[in-house]
Structure 1
Amino acid sequence: MDARPEPGDDATTQRFQQKRERILDAATRLINRHGVKGMTFVDVAEMVELNTTSVTYYFKRKELLAAAVLDRTIDRLEVLIRDAAARPTPRARMARYVEAHLELHARIELKQARPITVLSDIRALGEPFRSELTARYVSALRKVREFFEPPRSDRDKILRTIRAHILVQNMFWLPGWLPLYSVSDYPRISRRMIEVLEHGIAPAGADWSPQLLQVSAQTETHESEGMPENFARAATCLINEKGYRGASVEQIASELNVTKGSFYHHLEAKDELVLECFRRSHERIWLIQRAAIDAGGSQLDQLAAAIGTLLDVQLCSEFPLLRTTALQVLPSEWRTDMLERSTRLARRFAGMMIDGISEGTVRTIDPLIASQIVMGALNSAYDLRGWVAPLPPGTAIDLYGSTVAHGLFAGS
C-alpha cells in the first residue's frame, strides 16, 4: 500500500518505520476528527513537522494513507479478538473482549498506545481498498461470532450473528460517549458493560413482548421544514448503504427522479443534507420514546415498546434512521451538537430505566451505561437487514430485541 525502504540497512529501516508510524498516527487523529474526506496531506505534514513532499514519499496518494490507517486498526482489532478467543467459555470471551477494548482506550487516552480510527470510513474509500478492507472487517466479525456456541440451525446462526454484531458495534460506539467519563472510571465501565451485555436490562424470566407503536416518520420541528420528506428518506438510505462518498447528489436526485437543481433549491450543500437527516432521525427517536411513555404500562413495557418500534424502523421500514457512521463527515461543531443530541436521547432511556429499577421491572444496572448500549444496538441494527431478511419481520425484531432484553446468552 505504500513505500518501503531499501533492504539491508537496519538503521534506515528503523527510521523509516518510525516516521511512517508518526504519519499514520497523525492521519488517524485527522480521520477521527474529520473523516477520510477531511484528512489532507497538508494537515498530516503539519502535525508531524514534515513537508507535504516528504509525506508523499511514504504514501503516494491520500487514499493509500487512509487505507493504511484503516488496515492498521483492523490489525489491532484482530489482536483483541485473538486475546478474547483464547478464553475457555463464551461468557469469558465476551468479557475479555470488552475489557481489552476499555484497556486499549485507556492506554490511548494516557498516550501509552497509538490511536485507532473508526472503521466506518471504509465506505469512503475507492476500490480496491473498500472491498479488501470490508472483507477483513467481515472476517473479524465472523471470528467474534465464534465466541458463542456453534449454531444448531439457520435461525440460530442469524441469532449468533445478531449477538456478535451488537457486541462489536458497541465497542465501535465507545468513542461516542467515553469522553463523558474519566479514564479512572474505565475499569468500572467495563464491569458494568459486561453485566448489561451478559444479562440484558430485563429481570430473569420477565416477559418481553413489545407492542409496536404507530408513529409517523414525519417530523415536526421548525428545523426540519426546509426539506421534503422524500429527500430525507432517499438520502438516509443511500448514505446508510454506500457511505457519504457513495451517496452523491446525482444519485440522490436520480433516486427521486428530480434534477440536481431541485436538490440545491432545498439545501445549499451535501453536509447540510447529512445534518438535516440526523436531526430528523433524532426527532423520530424522541417521538417514539414519547409515544411509548404515553402508552403507559410498566417501565419495562414502555422500554420494550420504544425499542421494538425502533427496531422495526431499522430492520423493516422504508425510512430507517441515519447511521452514526455518517457523523465523521460533519464539521466538528456540527458533530459535537449531534453527539449531544444522541446523549440526551440516551439519557431519556436511562430515565426510563431508573424508574423501572424503582418499580422493580428493570434489573439493577447502571442506567447511563445501559442506555448507551441500547443506543448502539439500535443504531447499528440497520446493518443486519440483509441477514434477517429471510425471517418474518416479527421474528427478526424478537431475536434482536431479546438480546437487548436478556443479554447475549439468552436461551444458551
Structure 2
Amino acid sequence: MRSSARFERKREAILDAAAELINQHGARGATLQEVANAVGLNTTSVTYYFRRKEQLAAAVFERSLTRLHQMVDEAAREATPRERVERFIALHVALRKRVIRGTDKALVNFSDMRTLDAELRQPLQDQYRQLFGTVRAYFGPFENEAHRNLCTARAHMMLEVIFWLPAWLARYAINDFNRVSRRLFTIFDEGLAVAGAKWQPRFITPAEISETMPPQDPAAENFLRVATRLINESGYRGASVVRIVEELNVTKGSFYHHLDAKDDLVLECFRQSYKRVAVVQWLAHRDGKDEWERLSWAIASLLDIQFNGEWPLTRTTALQALPADVRADVVSRSDRTAFRFMGTLVDGVREGTINPVDPMIASQLILSTLNSAYDLKGWAAKLPPRQAIALYASTLIDGLFDNRVLDTAWDG
C-alpha cells in the first residue's frame, strides 16, 4: 500500500510538471527530459510511468478533462440556464484565484490535443464531446433543430471565453475577481445590443479588405494562407514546413526564399490576421453611422471570414507553442485589437447604442468569440451563411438566453 501511494504521488507530480510545460510550450514542445528535470528524476524513471511522451501528454489532457467535467456537472445541477452559466463562471474564476495563490493547478490548454496521434486523440475527443453536450444542455431542452443549433453556438462561445480567461484575468487584482465574474455574467445575460437595436450588418468584402491593405507578394500570401489553415487545424507543431510546401507543390528552397524560418511564418500569419481585423474595424468605423453599426458590421464581417473565407484568422491556440519573444509580439497585437473594440464600446455606451458593459471584459469576449468561430466552420456549413453568422453573433449581441434571433426571417 505504501508503495502504491508513492507511485501515485510521483505519477501526479509528473503529470503536474508536464501540464505546466504543455501550457508553456505546447504538447510537442514539452520533452520527457524537461519533465524529468522538473520532478528530480532521469528520463528513464519517467518512462517507468509513461513509456512515450505522447502517452504522458494524453494522460495530462485526460486528467484536465476529468476536472473540467466535474465543474461542468456541478454547474449543471443548478435549476435554470442563467444559474448554471453563472455558477460555471464562478467555478472558473475561483480556480484562477487558487492557481495564482499557488493552492491549485491550472487546467491544461486543450487546443494541443489535436496534435496527438489518432489512437490517443480519439478517446479524448469523445470525452470532450460528452462534456460539450452537457454544457449545451445548460440552455435546453431544445425546442427544435434551430434552437439546438443556437445552443451549440452558445456552448462553444462560452467554453472558449472560459478557456481564454487566464490570458487576461490576471490583469485584475484577486480582490476584484468576484466583480469581474459578475460583469462577465452580465454580458452573457444581457448582450451588447440595447433594446430595439437591429441586426442589419453590412458585410465588408474580402475585396474591400485587400484593396485597403498594402500590396502582398502572391507567393508569400499563398504560404500564409496554407500555414494559417494548418495552424488552425493542427496547431503550431502540426503546421510543418514539409506539409506547407507539399500542399503548395513547391520546394523548401522556395519557402526559405520568402521566409527565414517557420517562426517567421507563424508570426507573419498572426500579423496579417490582426492587420485584416484592423482594416475591418477601420472600414466599419468609416462607413457606419453610429457605434452599434460599426460594431455589428465588424463582428459580422469577421465571422464571415471565419466561416466562409478562404483565408481565416489565425487561431490564438497556437500562441502557447511560440517562442517567448514571438508570443509577446502576438499578444501585443491582440491587445491593440482589443483596445480598438474597447473604444467602440465606450463611445457606443456614451451615445446610447450599446449596453453599458465593462469594455475591457467585453472586448476580450469579442476577440475570443471571433477567433474561435473557425472551429465551428463545419457547423456553419450546414446552415445558410447569413443565418449561421447571425446565430453565432447573437451570443455576443443578445447574450446567451434570448431566443428572439430564432424568429428572424433569414434570406440565406
Instruction: Show the counterpart of 1:122.
Output: 113
Instruction: Show the counterpart of 2:349.
Output: 357
Q: Return 161-170 or 261-270, whichever deviates more.
A: 261-270
Say if 2:51 is the partner of 1:60. yes
Structure 2: runs of 5+ lacking an equivalent: 405-412
Instruction: Show the counterpart of 2:340.
Output: 348
CA distance in 2, matches of 1:145, 1:122: 21
CA change 1:217–1:252 in 2 (3 A) is farther
Instruction: Show the counterpart of 2:124.
Output: 133
Instruction: Show the counterpart of 1:216.
Output: 209
CA distance in 1, matches of 2:75, 2:237: 34
Per-residue CA shift, 1:313-372, capped at 9, x if unaligned? Answer: 111111110111111221122112211211111111011100011111111110100110
TM-score by length of 2: 0.93
AA aligned to 1:148 is F
CA change 1:174–1:42 in 2 (3 A) is same
Say if 2:378 is the partner of 1:386. yes
CA change 1:79–1:264 in 2 (3 A) is same
CA distance in 2, matches of 1:241, 1:29: 23
Instruction: Show the counterpart of 1:302.
Output: 294
Give the alignment of 1:89-100 within 5 angstroms: 89-100=80-91
CA contact (8 A) 1:144 1:164 kept: yes
Instruction: Show the counterpart of 2:67.
Output: 76
CA distance in 2, matches of 1:155, 1:317: 24
Give the alignment of 1:313-324 within 5 angstroms: 313-324=305-316
CA contact (8 A) 1:33 1:332 kept: no
CA distance in 1, matches of 2:164, 2:211: 27
CA distance in 1, matches of 2:201, 2:4: 60
Per-residue CA shift, 1:74-129, capped at 9, x if unaligned? Answer: 01110110010000001111111111111111111111112321000101111211
Give the alignment of 1:1-400 within 5 angstroms: 10-214=1-205, 215-217=208-210, 220=213, 228-400=220-392
Deviation at residue 140 of structure 1 after TM alignment: 1.0
Q: Return 239-248 or 184-193, whichever deviates more.
A: 239-248
CA distance in 2, matches of 1:283, 1:59: 43
Deviation at residue 257 of structure 1 after TM alignment: 2.5
CA contact (8 A) 1:219 1:284 kept: no
AA aligned to 2:181 is S
CA distance in 2, matches of 1:309, 1:73: 35
CA distance in 2, matches of 1:399, 1:311: 11
Deviation at residue 250 of structure 1 after TM alignment: 2.7
Instruction: Show the counterpart of 1:7.
Output: none
Deviation at residue 131 of structure 1 after TM alignment: 1.5
SS, match of residue 237 in structure 1: helix
AA aligned to 2:63 is R
Instruction: Show the counterpart of 2:409.
Output: none
Structure 1: runs of 5+ lacking an equivalent: 1-9
CA distance in 2, matches of 1:249, 1:218: 29
CA distance in 2, matches of 1:217, 1:101: 40
CA contact (8 A) 2:236 2:322 kept: no
Q: Return 83-92 or 391-400, whichever deviates more.
A: 391-400
CA distance in 1, matches of 2:382, 2:32: 45
CA distance in 1, matches of 2:110, 2:392: 23
Instruction: Show the counterpart of 1:5.
Output: none
1:407 to 399, 404, 409: 399
CA contact (8 A) 1:300 1:356 kept: yes
CA distance in 2, matches of 1:218, 1:278: 19
CA contact (8 A) 2:95 2:104 kept: yes
CA distance in 1, matches of 2:224, 2:353: 37
AA aligned to 2:152 is T
